[in-house]
Amino acid sequence: MKNLVAFPVKKALISLTLLGLLALNTPVYCDFAQAGQFLFQDPATPMMEGIINLHHDLLFLLIAIAVFVLWMIIRVLCQFNATANPKPSKIVQHTVLEVVWTIIPTFFLMFIALPTFALIYAMDEVVSPGVTVKVIGHQWYWSYEYSDLTTPDNKDGIVFDSYMVPEEDLVKGELRLLEVDRRVVLPIETHIRLLITSADVLHCWTVPSLGVKIDACPGRLNQISLFIKRSGVFYGQCSEICGINHGFMPIVVEGVELGFYNKWVADQFGSANSGFGIDQVNEMINKENTTLFLFMYMVGDLSYDQFLYLENFYKNSKMRFDYQTFLRV
């Protein structure tokens, strides 16, 4: 009887152990501010990784300098006082010492400046983007335009406004003052260009996990590049005091696999499907390089014009996805 009871208990313990090991191997990212949080949110872009690494390097150097200066102050207080040295020295200057304590900090500044300038110039570099999104700040909401996703039927591309979800409309699990009614959807592992401007006053589009903090100025177009390395939902807020409701214009960026991004784009355009016969579908499905967009067209998520546009766009950008890739996604 003992063995019969012990067997399920052992089995349960083994299962719990395996689940614990699986949980330890599953990363849990911090992509929004936590209560009592001390350090940065987890990075999702190479730029944010560079910012965090630079911060840690500078903090190490700062602690070393602070300890040395504190040691010097304590040593001076202990050695140069009336009790330890009743007869004060009359030396008022030391040329060599003054030169040394001027040159050494200069080397420290050069050591700090080199990686800092490298990071700043890397942040300003814009690689040929696969996606361009225009961000427009308003009092007190954000507008987004995917203006390069135009079709003959839709000359404006994807355009929408993003408002904060009121506290009374939040569902369980959503974040107060950080959730929006429409999120910005961006593909991961793709070069993205953001164009930021404002329609009224100064705003600032800031998402800590992405390492982005760029001003939205009326009459001026600022530009920054992104390369999101992992999927996730990243939260931010306007970081420029822009009026009475400044604290109520959050930002939510959803990073998704490219296949899901294409599906989202198709959903925004609608599901009209006309002008393409079944014989043409069968002819193209049997070709060697069947693309993801053909599959979307066949299930009714793309019109023929949308299919041709996306097919041509990715053909020119040398990014092609076949049906098997879609299944893996």
Cα 217 from Cα 204, distance rounded (Å): 8
Instruction: Answer yes or no: same fold for 46-124 and 131-256.
Output: no
Does 284 or 114 have the greater pLDDT score?
114
pLDDT at 20: 53
Report residue 131's pLDDT band, with 50, 70 and 90 as the boundaries.
Answer: confident
Query: Please, how many CA atoms are within 13 Å of residue 232, restricted to the half-sphere of its CB?
Result: 20
Name, in order, each residue with C-beta under 8 angstroms of 201's C-beta and a sequence gap of 6 or more: 139, 218, 242, 243
Q: How far is the C-alpha of 174 from the C-alpha of 210, rounded, in Å?
A: 20
Q: Alpha-carbon distance 289 to 294, whole Å?
A: 10
Q: What is the pLDDT of residue 216?
A: 92
> What pLDDT sits at residue 289?
40
CB 30 within 8 A of CB 37: yes
| Pairing of β 141-146 and β 158-162 | antiparallel
If pLDDT is split at 50, 70 and 90, which confidence band does 252 have?
A: very high
The predicted structure's pLDDT at residue 261: 85
Q: Which helix (H) or strand (E) holds 17?
A: helix 2-25
Q: Can you tell me the distance from the alpha carbon of 262 to that of 53, in angstroms, rounded to the nearest whole number?
A: 33
**Contact criterion met (CB below 8 Å) for 140 and 246:** yes
User: What is residue 202's predicted lDDT score, i.e. its pLDDT?
Assistant: 92
The more confidently predicted of residues 297 and 120 is 120
Q: Decide if domain 131-256 falls under CATH 3.90.1150.10.
A: no
What integer pLDDT is reported at residue 304 of this predicted model? Answer: 53
Domain layout of the chain by residue ranges: 46-124, 131-256, 263-328
What is the reported pLDDT for 136?
A: 94
Q: Environment class of residue 240 by beta-carbon count within 10 Å: exposed (0-12), middle (13-18) or buried (19+)? A: middle
Among the listed residues 19, 13, 33, 9, the one whose alpha carbon sits nearest the alpha carbon of residue 209: 33
Give the contacts of 114 (CB within 8 A, at least 6 positions apart): none
User: Max CA-CA distance within the chain?
Assistant: 106
Between 94 and 251, where is the model more confident?
Answer: 251
148 alpha-carbon distance from chain centroid: 21
At 314 the pLDDT is 55
* % of the chain at pLDDT higher than 70: 71
- CATH 1.10.287.90 at 46-124, yes or no: yes
Tens-place pLDDT, residues 30-86: 777 777 778 888 888 999 999 999 999 999 999 999 999 999 999 988 888 778 777
